[in-house]
Amino acid sequence: MADEWKAPESEPEEREERKSWKLLEKTLLAGVQEQRRARRWGIFFKLLTFVYLFGMLMLFTPLMDMDKAASRSASHTALIEVRGVIADQEAASADNLVKSLREAFKDAKTKAVVLRINSPGGSPVQAGYVYDEIRRLRAEYPAIKLYAVITDLGASGAYYIASAADEIYADKASLVGSIGVTAAGYGFVGSMEKLGVERRTYTAGEHKAFLDPFSPEKPEERAFWQGVLNTTHQQFIAMVKQGRGDRLKDKEHPELFSGLIWTGEQAKALGLVDGLGSASYVAREIVGEKELVDFTVEESPFDRFSKRLGASVAEHLAMYMGFQGPSLR
pLDDT value of residue 285: 96
Mean pLDDT lowest among 30-34, 105-109, 119-123, 285-289 = 30-34
Q: For the chain, give the mean pLDDT.
A: 83
Q: What is the pLDDT of residues 73-101, one digit of tens each?
A: 589 999 999 999 999 999 999 999 999 99
Question: pLDDT category, 71, cuts 50, 70, 90?
Answer: very low
> Comparing 128 with 212, which gets the higher pLDDT?
128
Q: Look up the pTM and report it.
A: 0.71
- Exposed (0-12), middle (13-18) or buried (19+): which is 165, by Cβ within 10 Å? buried
| Three-state SS at 147 | strand
- Exposed (0-12), middle (13-18) or buried (19+): which is 11, by Cβ within 10 Å? exposed
d(CA 149, CA 166): 11
Q: What is the pLDDT of residues 161-188, one digit of tens each?
A: 999 999 999 999 999 999 999 888 888 8
Question: pLDDT category, 267, cuts 50, 70, 90?
Answer: very high
Mean pLDDT lowest among 104-108, 115-119, 312-316 = 312-316
pLDDT value of residue 315: 52
- What residues have CB less than 8 Å from 236, skipping those under 6 apart? 124, 160, 179, 180, 181, 328
d(CA 14, CA 153): 89
d(CA 323, CA 183): 8
d(CA 86, CA 210): 27
Q: What is the pLDDT of residues 37-70, one digit of tens each?
A: 777 767 766 666 766 665 555 554 444 444 554 4
pLDDT value of residue 215: 84
pLDDT value of residue 36: 75
- Exposed (0-12), middle (13-18) or buried (19+): which is 321, by Cβ within 10 Å? middle
Q: pLDDT exceeding 70 applies to what percent of the chain?
A: 75
Count the residues in the chain. 329
Question: pLDDT category, 193, cuts 50, 70, 90?
Answer: confident
- Nearest Cα residue to 124 out of 185, 178, 79, 171: 178
Identify the helix (H) or strand (E) that includes residue 278: none
Across residues 207-213, what is the average pLDDT?
84
Q: pLDDT exceeding 90 applies to what percent of the chain?
A: 55
- Nearest Cα residue to 181 out of 132, 263, 262, 124: 124
- Nearest Cα residue to 230 out of 259, 260, 201: 259
Of the ranges 212-221, 253-262, 310-319, which is most confident? 253-262
Would you say residue 318 has pLDDT above 60?
A: no
On whether the CB atoms of residues 167 and 274 are closer than 8 A, the answer is yes
